[in-house]
Amino acid sequence: MATNFRQEFIRFAIDTKVLLFGEFKTKAGRLSPYFFNAGLFCDGKSLRQLAQFYAKAIAAADVPFDMLFGPAYKGIPLVAAVAIALADANHNVPFSYNRKEAKDHGEGGNVVGAPLVGRALIVDDVISAGTSVRESVELIRASRATPAGVLIALDRMERGSAELSATQEVVRLYGMPVISIATLDDLIGFLENSRGMAPQLAAVAAYREQYGVKNA
C-alpha cells in the first residue's frame, strides 16, 4: 500500500527513541503525551533511513519542484541527505542552504550550494512557530525563485493560538503545500494497531481531541 511507509516511519521513530511517550511540556505550555525530536537522528544509518522516508513522502505527494532548500541549521544535514536519497532513486536534483549570517569573503552571500532558481522545495524537521518557513520563503523569493512547498517529518496537527495549526497557517499564508512523512493521525493509527499500547493511545487521542485542529 502507498501509505505503509507512514506507519513504518512511526515504528522507526519509536525504535530510535526519537519519538517518546510520557509527559512533556511544549513551548505553548501544554502537557503533551508524546515528544518528537528529529535532532536525535544523529548517526549515519538513522539519517539515511530518515532521508529515504522523506523521498517516499515526496513521491507520494507528487508536488513539482526543481531543487531542494534547507534552512539553517537543522535543515542543512536534512537537505543534503534527502538529495542523496532522491539521487539513489534516480531523481538527481540540486540543493542549497543558507547561513545565519552573510559571508563577506570568498563566495560571499548567505546561500551555499546550487543557485536558487525555479521551484524550491523547503526541507525541515517540523513546523512550530513557522519562523524558519517565513525566512526561507523570503530568501527564495528574494532570489526570484518560487517556494514549491515544505517537506517535514511529522505534522503534530495541533492548534496554535487560533483554530489553525502551524502547518495550516503556512498553507494559508503562502499558498503552497506542506508534505509530511507522517501526521498525528498516522501516530494514532499506529497505536490502534499495536499491542500493549492502549495507555499511549488513550493519552494521545485525548490530546488530539483537546488540541487538535478540527478539519486537518
Catalytic residues: 103, 105
Sign of the alpha-carbon torsion through 137, 140, 145, 151: negative
Q: Which of 148, 146, 216, 147 is nearest to 188 (CA)?
A: 216
The secondary structure element, H or E, covering residue 56 is helix 44-61
Question: What are the counts of helices (DSSP H) followed by strands (DSSP E) for the chain?
Answer: 7, 8
Residue with cell 526519537: 18
**Coil, helix or strand for 111?**
strand
Radius of gyration of the chain from Cα atoms?
17
Note whether 77 and 113 are within 8 A (CB).
no
